[in-house]
Structure 1
Amino acid sequence: MSSPRVLVVDDEDDLRELLEITLLKMGLDVDSAADLRQARDFLAGGDYGLVLTDMRLPDGLGLELVREVTSSGRATPIAVVTAFGSADNAVVALKAGAFDYISKPVQLDQLRQMVQSALKLATPAPAAREAAVDSRLKGQSAAMQALRAQIGRLARSMAPIAITGESGSGKELAAREIHAQGARADKPFIAVNCGAIPEALMEAEFFGYRKGAFTGAADERDGFFQAANGGTLMLDEVADLPLAMQVKLLRAIQERRVRKIGATAEEPVDVRIVSATHQDLARCVEQGKFRQDLFYRLNVIELALPPLRARLDDLPVLTDAILARLSGGGQPAVLGPGVLDALRGYSFPGNVRELENVLERALAFANDGVIHVEDLALKGAKLAATEGTVPTQAEVPPPPGGPASLPPAPAATAPQPPLPDLTVLPSNLPEYLERVEREIIVRALAQTQYNRTQAAQLLGISFRQLRYQMQKLDIQEP
């Protein structure tokens, strides 16, 4: 089996020779080009496991080569060499499709790590990794298929990614899948909730500290950057970072070096940054809460996650997966008639996380492993109009000239007790509220001929909540 071949494009003879020698020592075959024309000739005549190009060349910019390689349909990763301090050029190259970048003067250890990561992309993923990837993001809706396709493309790059989406939509799950499909899958994935770290401890948590650096530093400790070295560092709720920490984080990301508290020298770190937030970072920048330079550094590529209400077709797959997980290896619970329709009628402001909570709570109330509509206890859900069900109070049209109220009881039912006069202030509020609650429940039971399941639906509460209130208020069936 032949060694992978790398194409080096640089007009500086000394740097090109240094890169060639380093790559040859890694057991790779190397072709060298001094300008864009020679590079195009090499690319036309063969396939490469990696292209490494300088940004400034005698007959053009390396950015042109980046765009040509990424638009050619080849799976060849291309990385760029940028001048020291040219962070803007690096960001532009990453947005154009570059796999990664390295700054001058070239650090050989960083170069070797980048080359190894790039060459892994050409290696088929093991079956175990493919199986793990398949199990992460569930659903076959158009939105989820497009999301998975985008993640597959992003996984082939080292560009920073900003994941946006509502709370509970699966931002960390998407970040883990990007990591799992990329060349860093066998390295650490470290997720950090930026809003949960006290400001006084942030620098120590992110960069680590030396023994004796401050009171209580009994031992040397690595920070998040060192723990994620070679892998992926996810900054969850990054908008919650204080401005002072944003400055230090920006430098660490740009220079790829960190200094522990109490240390005199910086140490190199190789991490891919994935950030996530439910806030609008651009608006945070406008409001002065988030640094603009850090925003551009993190938001190289944006990945937007759809809310659950935009992919309700995925509910059957999601509920099956959640119930299987909640079963703990036993027989999963099943959904009774009308449950999926009830779930589809709910807006899920908490997205998939809320769906998990709803099903876990319903499972605790379910009998014989079957979840019924009343077990869901969804607030404001539009229950499906099926045989034997009644509309919820929110669905009853208001009478002309008045607010919405319970429909009048059928003639055959018991007479309805009048509600108390709401214009008179009560002298005993708890007793007054208990009386109001009792009379409303009695009216709902009379309206449904004392069918407690239908009465609970009419009042927008669960069957068990109704049964508890009846016992508490000593409401007896006739």
Structure 2
Amino acid sequence: MTPTDTAPNALIVDDEADIRELVEITLARMSIQTLAVATLAEARAAFEEGRFDLCLTDMRLPDGDGLDLVSYINERHPHCPVAVITAYGSADTAVSSLKAGAFDFVSKPIDVSGLRSLVSQALKLAGLDHDAPPHPSLDASPRLIGDTPSMQQLRQTIAKLARSQAPVYITGESGTGKELVARMIHAEGPRMSNTFVPVNCGAIPSELMESEFFGYMRGAFTGAMRDTPGLFARADGGTLFLDEVADLPLTMQVKLLRAIQERAIRPVGANDETAVDVRVICATHRDLATEVARGSFREDLYYRLNVIEVHVPPLRERRADIAALTARILEALARKLRLRRAPHLSREALDALEQYSFPGNIRELENILERAVTLSEDAVIERQYLRLSSPLLDTGTGSAASAAPTAPGTVGGYTSNGHPAPMDTSADLESQLEALERERIQAALEACHYNKTKAAKHLGITFRALRYRLAKLGMN
């Protein structure tokens, strides 16, 4: 069939006549016009003569490699998504095609429903699926704040990844915004009208992981009163975000690998597998390559997940973005707290933030500003409220341990020379800050014989701020 302008056009490249016929019939039922060729040379000639909205190519062609065609299309016809047809069980080949720039892959023998799903995703990507909802505006989509070179590069990378279905591995320290990056990849791609399902792998008990990920059938175990879909089923057609994937036990890693490779799951208690169409994005603050070397993470799963790696820079490497981030966070806090207008930082307060190393990254910045807004009663937040929010701001190092003196003799949270006692550096930052606040407040209350008004004055904060801290810390 010769391509025309009346319907989406697809080029099929395969030297097996029965494969070409199967794909042509499937696409014809989707109102897609097709042109089928058998060689790499014929495919290149077809692209020179006409425009295609999708290309499906076999990996092995009589006169070349399917990856050569992928590279050719990405270079000269970047508007056209290209999917690769691979042999059954060729996981390495599939990964290679995705790294080369293929939109997706389909394995032989071709599953018609899986092929239809792949083609639908490609048409959405090309903007040719008229049943798909309009792309969300920038105001409605998740956004990365900042104009430093690293953030500009990150946004460009996200835009490229949104056009692919390849698994993505997001690295970065805790609190840098890895989930936001995953949400942007989802929101800017063809799956944006379907579900984005985030899951913290470290928060699921190991004995419940299989049923949580794959679901279970009624009667599969005591308490299974009805069929219940798992995370994969809920993300069908969309994206499954596996946060802290390094926390998965080895037994679950094996099952996850099979689900990703075969694109099918078997609920607990079921006899048959169920096909799922899920894009997997994972993230962790740990080094997966190191975990592989230690034997705590499977090497085959690592290479299956790490098709494309994206690094999110820490906040200390993009200090020029702190002002913009602060303004956006304060606007969000004003809406949350129903303030008449958003507060802003004084020049001295902003300077203090820009000089701080932020070991907790953006999450820590959010916590600092939320406390400061609560403690301050003015539209302008002064530096002193940042000190009360986060005592680490005065250390200049971002290390809780360095803020504490080493003198012995701790009484009521203070050492004998009147300074705060050292904190346990094995705890996380949030716990350390809360412990220090609790100790200081408790010491002030005891010194003022539990007169809250005097204790607030002793601490240098308002009575309202003290009452808020007592409630949040559970000290009422």
Larger Rg: 1
Match of 1:76 in 2: 80
1:359–1:80 Cα change, 3 Å: same
Q: Is the partner of 2:136 in helix, strand or coil?
A: helix
**Which one of the candidate residues 169, 193, 198 is aligned to 2:200?**
193
Following superposition, which runs of at least 4 residues in structure 1 exceed 3 angstroms of deviation? 124-128, 132-135, 378-384, 429-436, 464-477
**Which one of the candidate residues 113, 117, 131 is aligned to 1:109?**
113
Match of 1:363 in 2: 373
Instruction: Tell me the TM-score normalised to structure 2 length.
Output: 0.82
Letter in 1 for 2:343: A
Letter in 2 for 1:213: A
- Are the equivalent residues in 2 in contact too, given 1:309–1:348 (CA < 8 A)? yes
Residues 69-94 of structure 1: per-residue CA shift (max 9 Å, x gap): 11225221100000100010000000
Distance 1:150 1:431 in 2: 51
**Which one of the candidate residues 146, 150, 154 is aligned to 1:147?**
154
Note the C-alpha offset of 1:466.
13
Distance 1:114 1:189 in 2: 18
Match of 1:381 in 2: 393
Q: CA RMSD in A?
A: 2.9
Distance 2:394 2:133 in 1: 45
Match of 1:344 in 2: 354
1:10 is aligned to 2:22: no
Note the C-alpha offset of 1:215.
0.8
1:240 is aligned to 2:247: yes
Letter in 1 for 2:370: E
- Are the equivalent residues in 2 in contact too, given 1:345–1:383 (CA < 8 A)? no
Note the C-alpha offset of 1:381.
3.4
Q: Is the partner of 1:159 in helix, strand or coil?
A: coil
Distance 1:351 1:151 in 2: 20
Q: Mapping of 1:271-350 within 5 angstroms?
A: 271-328=278-335, 330=339, 331-350=341-360
Distance 1:82 1:49 in 2: 21
Match of 1:88 in 2: 92
- The number of residues matched between the two structures is 418
Q: Is the partner of 2:137 in helix, strand or coil?
A: helix
Letter in 2 for 1:279: R
Distance 2:395 2:248 in 1: 42
Structure 1 unaligned spans of 5+:
385-393, 396-403, 406-421, 442-459
1:56 is aligned to 2:60: yes
Residue range with higher mean Cα deviation, 366-375 or 7-16:
366-375
Q: Is the partner of 1:327 in helix, strand or coil?
A: helix
Instruction: Tell me the TM-score normalised to structure 1 length.
Output: 0.82
Letter in 2 for 1:366: S
- Are the equivalent residues in 2 in contact too, given 1:341–1:383 (CA < 8 A)? no
- Are the equivalent residues in 2 in contact too, given 1:24–1:30 (CA < 8 A)? yes
1:207 is aligned to 2:214: yes
- Are the equivalent residues in 2 in contact too, given 1:342–1:383 (CA < 8 A)? no
Match of 2:69 in 1: 65
Match of 2:47 in 1: 43
Note the C-alpha offset of 1:469.
8.2
Note the C-alpha offset of 1:467.
12
Q: Is the partner of 1:22 in helix, strand or coil?
A: helix
Q: Give percent identity, aligned residues only.
A: 50
**Which one of the candidate residues 259, 262, 269 is aligned to 1:262?**
269
**Which one of the candidate residues 404, 407, 417 is aligned to 1:436?**
417
Distance 1:66 1:468 in 2: 69
1:25 is aligned to 2:6: no
Match of 2:257 in 1: 250
- Are the equivalent residues in 2 in contact too, given 1:69–1:76 (CA < 8 A)? yes
Distance 1:15 1:138 in 2: 47
Match of 2:472 in 1: none
